[in-house]
Amino acid sequence: MAGNFGGFHAAFGGEMRSNYPNCPVPQHFLNIRYNKDMANPFRSEKFRKIFIGNIALALAVIGLGVGTFLAWQYNDKLPRVITPAVPYLSLQEMESTLEGEQKTLKQQIAKTDDQINALEDQVRIRQSGMKGLIDDADRLKAQAGITQAKGPGIKIILADSNAPLNITNAIAHASDLRDLINQLWQNGAEAISISGAGSMEERIGPLTSIDCIVNTVLINGTKTVPPFEIKVLGNRDKMISAINDRSALKSIYDRVDKEGLKFTIDNNVREVDIASFTGNIITEHVKIK
């Protein structure tokens, strides 16, 4: 048993024993004699000399600590140019800031629209002559997708295949969403929205574009990633039939068959609640002729 601690004892003045009978300990190790500190090596003179008495070691620890602290402070704010990673990191920060700003702007627009609706309700009562105009504007808003929509419909899931993501055909593309939406409009869809993983529901509106940048899809300017949930308001049978049309959605079905792209209808959903359009509807150049 003592042999198990042979190295430790030797370091602090104890006698060294080999753990292995075939490997004798060298004679100069055996000359190390047992002394009074062997019972508690932490109290030995040698220990104190090495670990406590050595101020240089304490300074080294302080130095490392202060150095770490200074480096962390220095890296806390990005310097202008130190590594090739800096422009990327600045962009990353900028993207994050702009995404936050976008979310806030959309929320403020939605809140202001709610306040406008409340004001219009008051106008209906106070200025009864305006009722027809307000009703007309409300009808147009609903047609344009500026209000929520609810009714029978379907929910479609479009997601990346389980295959390695470096296979381009195994991932869900912006063009898949564009083709799908076109197919749904073609078959009489009344309203469509798309949500990506963890992102806001984006209604397809008057000025919606769906674009792909690297591995993300921008819908109404908002970054989304698969899996995509596409909610469609409309006749269920017609919508299901449209989705099952393999020739109209050839690009998607080819990749479903070959690469395992996921494209399914959620059969549990029979009614959908579609959010209002929160994207941009500013028309500064176009005027009524």
Does 288 bind other proteins (CB under 8 A)? Our answer is yes
218, 225, 265, 269: residue in contact with other proteins (rule CB under 8 A): 218
Applying CB under 8 A, among 17, 106, 231, 255 the residue interacting with other proteins is: 106
**Residue 65 in contact with other proteins, rule: CB under 8 A:** yes
Binding test (CB under 8 A) with other proteins, winner from 35, 108, 241, 264? 108
The Cα-based distances of 47 to 39, 42, 156 in angstroms read 13, 6, 71
Query: Amino acid identity of 72?
Result: W
Q: Which is nearer to other proteins, 7 or 206 (CB)?
A: 206
Instruction: Please identify which residue in 13, 14, 145, 196 interacts with other proteins, judged by CB under 8 A.
Output: 145
DSSP 84-143: THHHHHHHHHHHHHHHHHHHHHHHHHHHHHHHHHHHHHHHHHHSGGGHHHHHHHHHHHHH
Type of residue found at 58? A
For residue 227, is the peptide bond before it cis, meaning its omega torsion is within 30 degrees of 0? yes
6-14, 18-26, 41-49, 141-149 -> range binding other proteins (CB under 8 A):
141-149
- Each residue 153-182 as x (binds other proteins by CB under 8 A) or -, in order, gives ----------------------x--xx--x
Q: Is 61 in the site for other proteins (CB under 8 A)?
A: yes
The piece of 9-17, 38-46, 205-213, 224-232 that touches other proteins (CB under 8 A) is 205-213
Say which residues have a Cβ less than 8 Å from residue 215's Cβ, sequence separation at least 6. 165, 171, 225
